[in-house]
Structures are given as structure tokens and as C-alpha cells.
Amino acid sequence: MPLSRLYLPLLGVLFSCYSCTITNSDTALANPPSLKTAYQGNFHIGAALNRPQIYEADSVAAALIRKEFNSITAENMMKWMHIHPGVDSFQFEAADKFVTLGEENDMFIVGHTLVWHSQLAPWVQEITDRDSMLQHLQNHVSKIVGRYKDSVRGWDVVNEALNEDGSLRSSLFLELIGDEYLLKAFEWAAAADPAAELYYNDYSLCNPAKREGAIALVKRLQANGVKIDGIGMQGHWGLDSPSLEEIENSILAYSALGVKVMITELDINVIPNPWDLEGADVNQNFEGSPFMDPYPAGLPDSVQIQLAQRYEDIFKLFLKHEDKIARVTFWGVNDGQSWKNDWPIKGRTNYPLLFDRAFQPKKAYHRVMGLKKLDE
Ligand code: XIL
């Protein structure tokens, strides 16, 4: 038998292996490992973007956002004081840019937030009667949701309407309109964009008393035939609290209402919490001290490891309940720009996210990604 008859098939096999290597590495280049690809069969992975990130001021941050995330939330630019600063003036420029960025990258765009007692425009605080509050609130919700109809896919319609004991927080809206403002806000949002998902969003939603309040709120909407699609548990958590058990109980309890559960503002605090403060009330502020800012020059390995373990544990839990969880959004992109450097004490050095100040993935990132590798 001529030698060529023996070698040719062998060459064929070698060639097909070579070309399959090329194809695989091509795919790998087109789809480098990332949070969004690793978790694409489970839930959306989102990030809150600040103004410079929306405007893509830093090309490294911009590339990282496009690579890692398939959902975005505006950290501040859709809040009342920014988007509706005067009675008759809306400032849509940054919000438009944010929505365009999301559309260009095929991301699930989240609107944050329509009705919230914080970061209001000063003129709203001057409203003193029920009718004009109703009218301004309706105008606010309808204009903004209407403008982004079919682009923003989910809205935090009401943010932080509850006290820690589960009762309704006293706010301008509650005082002037009564608790009906909750129903109205959801109704106006649904009318302006029937296809958008509508959420109630809050912090400390793993606290049992507050959880009961959130459950009652959702039931009240449902009993009145008002559309609500999901509950956003903000997820401003610590290394040890809330416990995995409390988080799990809350996921189960909210999901039992027939709504989607989302972790909407995830970050893990690693530095001292003044007076064991719970929650994320943006109006609370405390004095700083070296004791309160223990790692200005870098996070010690021991804490880095604890943070990685905490992230692994909570993502393991999220995966266990992936049928109930629609999205996990980080409140920021990297440690350097996180609000946790300035809240509740200004000017500290915190390390709450998966990417460090140089945009490098931290141990915690690898542990979160590692959970998916084991899966494959
Ligand atoms: C925070 C932003 O991250 C800060 O930049 C801003 O100064 C204050 O608000 N709960 C929420 C978010 O719903 O809107 C808050 O965001 C954090 C707590």
C-alpha cells in the first residue's frame, strides 16, 4: 500500500483537530469568560453605572462593563433631583445616554427609581396639598416611563417605602396622599408602559419584620388588581449579616407571592459599621476616624479571603434558587467608585465589589466564576 494512503487520513484528522482548535479559540476570543456568560443560563448580572461610566469617560471601565454585565441600572441619573429638577423641567440627557448604552449592548435596562423620599428635587418638598402632589407624581411617573417605553425593561417604581418594623415610612407622599400613593404609582407606571416589569425595591428586606411589611405591601397591590412583577432586595450586606438563612427565607417568602426576586444593589461592606447600623439609609452620616477606616493602603489577605467566601456563599444560594431569581445587580463596577467609600462615613477606603481599584478581578470574582466551572 502506498504510504500516502496511510498518511492522508492521518493528516485529515490532524487538520480537523487544528481547525477545531482555531474555531474554539475564536469563540473564546469572541466570548471571553465573564460574569454574564458564566451566568447566562441562570439570571441577569447587572451593575449600577454612575455618570462618568454612562458617558464612557474611562475606556477601561467601559470595556469591563460591556464584557461582564448584561443588565445596567443608573446609580443616580434617573433619580428625581437629576431627571426632574424643576416643576416643568426634565433633564433627560444623561438618562438618554444610559438607555442608548444599554440598547447598543443588548442589556436589560433597569430604571431606578420613580417614587423615593430621598434625592428628591427641592421643589417637590414645597408641595403642600394632596391634589397637587397627586398631579405632580402622576406627571413624573408617566413622563419618564413613557419616554423610555419599550427600552427600559423594568422599573423600581417605589423605593424604600417601609420602616424597619414593616410599617409604612412617613414621607411627603404618605403624608399628603395616604397609602394610596403606592397603588397609584404602580398604576401610572403600568399605564405608561404595559410591557415594563414593575418592582418594589428596598434595603433590609431579609429582616423578618420588614419582610412582613413588604409581603403586605405586595399583597395589597395584588388584591387591588395592580400589576407588580418583582421585589428588589437591595443587598447592601456585610461579611456576616444577614445570615444565609435569612436571605434564603426572604427569597422563598417573596417568590411565594408569585413575583420575581432580584438582588438589585449588591455590595459587601468590609469596614466597621458605625453603631452596627443596619440598612442603607442614604441620609445617615457619621464622623470618620482611623479606627473606622482600617485599610486605607489595601485590604489584608485575611479579609480578602473572607470577602471571597461570602460572595461564593451567597452566589451558591442564588444558584440554588435560580428559578426564583431574575437578576443580580452590583451597586457599582469597581471598589474605587463604590458609594460605600463615602457612606455612611465620607472618604473611607472600602472594598465591597468584585473588581479592585485597578479594575482587576478580585479573589471574590474568581470564586463566583468558579461556582459555574464546577457546574459545567
Ligand atoms: C446611592 C448612590 O450610590 C450614591 O451615589 C448617592 O449619593 C446616594 O444614593 N439605596 C438606593 C440607592 O436605592 O439609590 C442608593 O444609591 C443606595 C441605597
Is 180 assigned a catalytic role?
A: no
CB neighbours of 210 closer than 8 A, spacing ≥ 6? 162, 163, 164, 165, 166, 202, 204
Judge whether 310 and 248 are in contact, CB under 8 Å. Answer: no
**Residuewise pLDDT in 10s, the chain (376 residues):** 444 444 444 444 433 333 333 344 444 555 689 999 999 999 999 999 999 999 999 999 999 999 999 999 999 999 999 999 999 999 999 999 999 999 999 999 999 999 999 999 999 999 999 999 999 999 999 999 999 999 999 999 999 999 999 999 999 999 999 999 999 999 999 999 999 999 999 999 999 999 999 999 999 999 999 999 999 999 999 999 999 999 999 999 999 999 999 999 999 999 998 766 667 777 766 666 788 899 999 999 999 999 999 999 999 999 999 999 999 999 999 999 999 999 999 999 999 999 999 999 999 999 999 999 855 5
- Whether the CB-CB separation of 164 and 202 falls below 8 Å is answered with no
Q: How far apart are CA 39 and CA 14, in angstroms?
A: 34
d(C-alpha 203, C-alpha 116), whole Å: 13
With 0-12 CB in 10 A as exposed, 13-18 as middle and 19+ as buried, what is 9? exposed
Residue 226 has a pLDDT of 98
The backbone torsions φ and ψ at residue 247, rounded to the nearest 5 degrees and listed phi first, read: -65, -45
Is 304 a pocket residue for ligand 1 (Cβ < 6 Å)?
no
| pTM of the predicted structure, to 2 decimals | 0.91
- Nearest in space to 48 (alpha carbons), one of 61, 60, 32, 38: 61
Mutate to test the pocket of ligand 1, among 110, 160, 339, 345 (most ligand atoms within 8 A of CB): 339
pLDDT value of position 10 = 41
> Which conformational region is residue 150 in: left (phi greater than 0), alpha (psi within -120 to 50 degrees), or beta?
left
**Burial (Cβ within 10 Å: 0-12, 13-18, ≥19) of residue 19:** exposed
Is the link from the previous residue into 349 a cis peptide, with omega within 30 of 0? no
Beta bridge mates, 96: none
The angle subtended at Cα 104 by Cα 266 and Cα 233, nearest 5°, is 20
Which CA distances in Å does 55 have to 49, 50, 290?
10, 9, 35
Angle at the Cα of 341 from the Cα atoms of 237 and 67, rounded to 5 degrees:
75
The reply to whether ligand 1 has any atom less than 6 angstroms from the CB of 234 is: yes
**What atom of ligand 1 comes closest to residue 332's alpha carbon?**
3
Q: Which residue has the cell 473564546?
A: 28
Q: Determine if ligand 1 sits within 6 Å of the CB of residue 282.
A: yes
What is the model's pLDDT at position 277?
67
